[in-house]
Amino acid sequence: MRYSAIALAFLLLGCGTGTSSLPTIKPAPISSTGSPLPDLQPRLDAIGVLLTDCAARLRGEPVAPADNCTHVMPDVTGVIDEVEKQSAKLPPAGQTALAEVRRQLTEIAPCEPWFAAGGTSADGQLDARCKKAWDALFDGYSAVRNSA
């Protein structure tokens, strides 16, 4: 058991040393007043990690078969629902970003088969529309995360 933990530590350390050009959803520096939604920070960060992993899949990079972007959309919707319940605590930019993410979740819904196919299809227009929707969702979620 002890050797397994050591091997896992080295494996995790080795995985974290690579560089990537993928965008990531990272928390913004916390102001001196703190986060307006501290109770949601862990969930917001976890969904940010999932979206970042999904970005790798959509760029054709190898990921675990379970990392399918269609599975992350209900999680994004769930955490956005929770943020909306407390949206009065967000700064105006965060409230605007929240409304934008809600709109983007509606626009991205028809792209689920595209996500399941790894972000490619035989339809160039579908590819362009879904990529644009994905990029907008990713950016919008990052803005919500950073304002919360």
* 16 secondary structure, DSSP code: T
Q: Hey, what domains does the chain have and what are their CATH numbers?
A: 38-147 (1.20.120)
> Which two structure tokens, joined as six digits, stand for 8?
């896992």
Per-residue confidence (pLDDT) for residue 5, from 0 to 100: 33
Per-residue confidence (pLDDT) for residue 10, from 0 to 100: 32
* Cα radius of gyration (the chain): 17
CB-side exposure of 19: number of CA atoms within 13 Å? Answer: 1
> Which two structure tokens, joined as six digits, stand for 17?
């040393």
> Which two structure tokens, joined as six digits, stand for 58?
């959509």
Quick one: 35 exposed, middle or buried, by C-beta within 10 A (0-12, 13-18, 19+)? middle
Backbone dihedral region for residue 119 (phi beyond 0: left; psi -120 to 50: alpha; all else: beta) = left
User: How far is 71 from 121, CA to CA, in rounded Å?
Assistant: 19
- Nearest of 107, 86, 110 to residue 98 by alpha carbon: 86
* 36 secondary structure, DSSP code: S
Q: What are phi and psi of 14, to 5 degrees?
A: -65, -35
Per-residue confidence (pLDDT) for residue 18, from 0 to 100: 39
Which parts of the chain have pLDDT scores under 50?
A: 1-22, 30-32
Per-residue confidence (pLDDT) for residue 147, from 0 to 100: 92
- Nearest of 133, 101, 103 to residue 115 by alpha carbon: 133
Per-residue confidence (pLDDT) for residue 115, from 0 to 100: 76
Per-residue confidence (pLDDT) for residue 11, from 0 to 100: 33
